[in-house]
Amino acid sequence: MDISFRSERAMTVFFGRSGAGKSVTLRSIAGLVVPDSGTIKVGDKVYFDSKSRINLTPQERRTGYVFQSYALFPHLTVAENLLLAMKTVPKRETRYEVRELLEEVGIPELHDRLPGDLSGGEQQRVALARALARNPQVLLLDEPFSAVDVPSRVRLRTLLKRVQRHRNIPTILVTHQALEAFTLGELIVVMDHGKVEQVGPPEEIFYRPKTLTTARLVGVKNIFPGVISEISQDTVYIKQNGKVWEAASLSGLHLSPDQRVSWCIRPEAVMLLREDRPLSLKRENRLSGVIEEVEQRGPVWELFVVSKEGMDLKIELPVHAAQHMGVTEGKEVLVSLKKEAIHIIPEIPDSGF
Amino acid sequence: MLGEVSLFPFWLSLKVATIATLLVILVGLPLAYFLARKRFAGSEIIVASTMLPIVLPPTVLGYYLLVLLGRNTIFGKFYEGIAGSPLVFTWQGAVVASAVASSPYIVRTAMAAIQSVPREMEDAARTLGLSELQIALRITLPLAWKGILAGVVLAYAKAIGEFGATLMIAGNIPGETQTLPIAIYDAVQAGKSDLANLLSISLAVLAISAVLLVGGLGKSRL
């Protein structure tokens, strides 16, 4: 594994598939695994440095760790679970501190209960309170919401954001869910196969992925090969199968004519054109095709369109739009790929994923 | 008929088994904790060798203990120098035989019980700032105590019934080293079948109660 990142944001998210190395990285920050080499710093405090042979024990590191399984001590009450972490607090203040913490996470009434009698969401809150009990320098959360149902997941996210802002404590959260990474992260570290793929704010990761791996991880489903044919002031022209596509030129990418690239567009950015509208309206990157498949996914419908040129396109439409346009399988449609939504990745697509 | 039954073997067996079990807890439990949590070169050999007292025939075990602890050996001389009396052919020798013979029951069950405590519990305790000793005493052992106690009961049952190794190292001296199982053997040899019956039944009752106790522990919630 080879991981390197630096975050000055309050909420950093490790994002990637399972086995990407997210949890191991989190564990090494807490001191639960020892890296072969490198440096780990939290604030000004050096936790680990292989060169100067610094390796603080987990006990010396003051991290607040929330485990995926919560790892609450089943033989101790909620209050006792918290008390264990409060060695530095004077005895007479601990009772008060425990109450404060439980208030903060919204479960003061669970003080004397055993973890086994609590719901997943309640256990999650206890785990968070316990992680905060030591007044940690950094909060580490390993897939904290994976074991709770969706409604409590939303409430817990809100709680986490509030606690995190209120305490102003740097936080690292591990997740394999793109949506969670997008909504919670201020900085996202995309990991794959033990390496960092990309580091950046959510908008950049989701709309301007730098590698094909990142693009696929964040749900960019339409990825095509192409060759740069021309670069103008504000437009990049990409040739593919005799057709030329226009993409908005993006600074920061060093492209040159004849370069082989990948270009992609998010499924929700593909526009379905209405037949009753005059065709004279300027629409870039038009293509026509047939709806092969419609998948209704609650608020969003996913269409699978095959164009006349044989391109496979995935399109996501809000229900009302899909119904309004009478989307059905077998229907011929006209599609526009907005120039601004087309993103170029200077990498040649491979077949496997 | 029975005549006068000496109660000495009962008390001796209870005393020997109790001391032997305490001894094994004292030494075996830390060993089990260590073996359950640490991997090092040769650790598998040590783990395997904790089974030796079960695998070896009791007489062979007793013979080797005799070889190891006899009056002319280093250990034997060392013990005699401290205690003032030899270890072999005394009731203290019976304690050693029982302890060694019953040690696998505590070490192995405790190891399994400790390994069944999720590592994440201990990791969580580490991030909360608990020292390794605190983790053992407040987290791991309380979570594993049921399995450990089952091992203790089994070890006690084994210790109280230990025969082969005890006979080899402590001998059969009535009123001195004659434990209950050896007294039974003695009674049978002497043709006192009534006495043998009585002693056997009492030993069987002791052993069966131990098994029932273990079963009850398994069902109880905490």
Tell me, yes or no, if A133 comes closer than 8 A to chain B by beta carbon. yes
Tell me, yes or no, if A24 comes closer than 8 A to chain B by beta carbon. no
Q: From the CA of A251, how many Å to the nearest CA of chain B?
A: 44
Contact between chains at B123 and A74 (C-beta distance less than 8 A): no
Which of A59, A75, A134 comes nearest B143 by C-beta?
A: A75
Domain, as residue range, for B155: 2-220
Q: Do residues A343 and A208 touch, judged by C-beta distance below 8 A?
A: yes
Q: Do residues A174 and A141 touch, judged by C-beta distance below 8 A?
A: yes
Tell me, yes or no, if A63 comes closer than 8 A to chain B by beta carbon. yes
A313 forms beta bridges with A305
Of the candidates A167, A183, A163, the one whose C-alpha atom is nearest the C-alpha of residue A175 is A183
Phi, psi values for residue A51, rounded to 5°: -70, -45
Contact between chains at A84 and B130 (C-beta distance less than 8 A): yes
The predicted structure's pLDDT at residue A88:
67
B positions 103-122 inside 8 Å of A (CB): 118, 120-121
Is the predicted pLDDT of residue A350 greater than 70, yes or no?
Answer: no
The predicted structure's pLDDT at residue A352:
42
Query: What is the distance between the alpha carbons of residues A10 and A187, in angstroms, rounded to a whole number?
Result: 8
Contact between chains at A64 and B121 (C-beta distance less than 8 A): no
Q: B121: which chain A residues are within 8 Å (Cβ-Cβ)?
A: 71, 73
Tell me, yes or no, if B36 comes closer than 8 A to chain A by beta carbon. no
**Which amino acid makes up residue B214?**
V
Contact between chains at A67 and B124 (C-beta distance less than 8 A): yes
Which residue of B lies nearest to A129 if distances are taken between CA atoms?
B128
The widest CA-to-CA distance across chain A, in whole angstroms, is 79
Contact between chains at A85 and B128 (C-beta distance less than 8 A): yes
The tally of domains found in chain B comes to 1
Contact between chains at B128 and A71 (C-beta distance less than 8 A): no
The predicted structure's pLDDT at residue B117:
94
**Residues A215-257 pLDDT 10s:** 999 988 899 988 988 888 888 888 887 788 888 877 667 788 8
Which residue of A lies nearest to B135 if distances are taken between CA atoms?
A84
- Residue that is written with structure tokens 């695998």 in the block: B55
Is the predicted pLDDT of residue A92 greater than 90, yes or no?
Answer: no
Angle between helices B91-115 and B58-69 (to 10 degrees): 120
Tell me, yes or no, if A114 comes closer than 8 A to chain B by beta carbon. no
**Residues A33-57 pLDDT 10s:** 999 999 999 988 999 999 999 999 9
Which residue of A lies nearest to B145 if distances are taken between CA atoms?
A75
Query: What is the distance between the alpha carbons of residues A128 and A144, in angstroms, rounded to a whole number?
Result: 9
pLDDT band at A276 (very low <50, low <70, confident <90, very high): low
Query: What is the distance between the alpha carbons of residues A11 and A175, in angstroms, rounded to a whole number?
Result: 13
The predicted structure's pLDDT at residue A1:
73
**Residues A334-349 pLDDT 10s:** 888 888 888 988 888 7
E strand intervals along chain A: 11-15, 39-42, 45-49, 54-55, 63-66, 138-142, 171-175, 187-192, 195-200, 222-231, 235-240, 243-248, 260-265, 270-273, 286-297, 300-307, 312-318, 332-337, 343-345
Tell me, yes or no, if B85 comes closer than 8 A to chain A by beta carbon. no
Which of A29, A34, A84, A124 is the mutation pick for testing B, counting most B CBs within 10 A? A84
| 3-class SS of residue A44 | coil
Query: What is the distance between the alpha carbons of residues A77 and B69, in angstroms, rounded to a whole number?
Result: 49
* Angular region, B129: left φ>0, alpha ψ -120 to 50, beta rest: left
pLDDT along chain B (222 residues), means of 10: 75 93 95 91 91 94 93 90 90 95 95 94 95 93 91 91 93 91 94 93 87 73 51
Q: What is the pTM for the complete model shown?
A: 0.81
CATH code of B151's domain:
1.10.3720.10
The predicted structure's pLDDT at residue B39:
84
Is the predicted pLDDT of residue A281 greater than 80, yes or no?
Answer: no
Alpha helices in A168-197 (DSSP H): 178-184
Q: Do residues B75 and B68 touch, judged by C-beta distance below 8 A?
A: yes
Contact between chains at A65 and B131 (C-beta distance less than 8 A): no
Structure tokens at B4: 């006068």
Which residue of B lies nearest to A127 if distances are taken between CA atoms?
B124
**Residues A132-180 pLDDT 10s:** 999 999 999 999 888 788 888 888 999 999 999 899 999 999 999 998 9
